[in-house]
Amino acid sequence: MIREPGNGSRELASKAYKLAAEKKAQDMRLLEVGKVSIIADYFLIATGGTAVQVHAICDHLTENLKKAGHYALRIEGYREGWWVVLDYGSLVIHVFQPESREFYDLERLWTEAPRLDLEDEEDASFLTNQSPER
């Protein structure tokens, strides 16, 4: 079943991507899992170099998204800082340490989900909330 994400989830994913980048999250990937599953519209996958950086990224995300009126439905793994999941319903954010990201390899599990390459001009329009002409 193919479905289009709502504007609200698109804006939330864009905001989360920018916030994670502010805290120097590495190797960020935005997957449009809503095209292949009903679990969420988007997965944001990012890496922090250490548990301290993972915590800093997650704290920055939760604090700033809350200020914007978005509250996490569930947070898992925060205490350990190995793999933290922030569930916002339409957006699920995964913040890993490098070893856990390599071990769980979510990108491989979700290979059928379109990946937004935010280095690409057309997909980067996502960050400015403009609809690219496809």
Indicate which CATH number applies to the domain containing 103. 3.30.460.10
> Which structural domain range is residue 100 located in?
7-123
Which of the 8 DSSP states describes residue 68? Answer: T
Is residue 128 one of the residues assigned to a domain? no
Could you tell me how many residues make up the chain? 134
Tokens at residue 62, please?
């939760």
Residue 1 in domain? no
Q: pLDDT tens across 45-88, in order?
A: 999 999 999 999 999 999 999 999 999 999 999 999 999 999 99
Label residue 118 left, alpha or beta by phi (over 0 means left) and psi (-120 to 50 means alpha).
Answer: alpha
Residue 59 lies in a domain: yes
Residue 107 lies in a domain: yes
Question: What is the pTM assigned to this prediction?
Answer: 0.85
